[in-house]
Structure 1
């Protein structure tokens, strides 16, 4: 094959490789600690799954969405509404989280006062 015929073939090969829809599946390496954590999670009624960057135990809460003013009133976290400022006293205007752990950026309520926003992964 001469160089003129080789170049288009090479270009087509590169385009085909670029357009491949390749997914990389990352499987965590089993360890005794991870296996034990997964067993304990399932024993508590949780679901062992990837949350953020790692595998964690997700627990669903029966009081998710209930109005709250403090974490002590929830099975999970009393989440402040979006847009409120840390330190602001908003009373009982939060809602209990539907599951734990809560990931992403959020503020919780402590006796009706908005906590600092935290970002968890």
Structure 2
């Protein structure tokens, strides 16, 4: 009987977590100006681990070699093989405005700390 009680609690807890995530997503979506997103050429899509809605804009200069964010519509970054912080290097302009993933920003031709955003 104790096992049934624990399983019942786990199911109830999972349901409340699911309901909380649905409410968080709904709240995030209500704060997005959909028309402004579309005007920028963006699309509303789920991002990151929890699938939060966000306006994601693709950048025309995606993949262009860069040494600073000022050279890109988005960010100048390394996404694959990170280098030591402060190393002089180049990166590539980001593909879109999706804030999630692991990357290392390049500023003034130097690598910053790697960041993983989820």
Aligned-residue CA RMSD in angstroms?
A: 2.3
Structure 1 stretches of 4+ moved >3 Å:
30-33
Task: Note closer, same or farther for the CA distance 1:32–1:63 as it changes in structure 2 (3 Å cut).
Answer: closer
TM-superposed deviation, 1:88: 1.1
Residue in 1 aligned with 2:44? Answer: 48
Aligned-partner Cα distance in 2 for 1:87–1:103: 23
TM-superposed deviation, 1:98: 1.1
Counterparts of 1:52-91 in structure 2, within 5 Å, are 52=48, 53=50, 54-80=52-78, 82-90=81-89
TM-score (norm 2): 0.68
Task: Note closer, same or farther for the CA distance 1:85–1:40 as it changes in structure 2 (3 Å cut).
Answer: same
Query: Is the radius of gyration larger for structure 1 or structure 2?
Result: 1
Task: Note closer, same or farther for the CA distance 1:48–1:75 as it changes in structure 2 (3 Å cut).
Answer: same
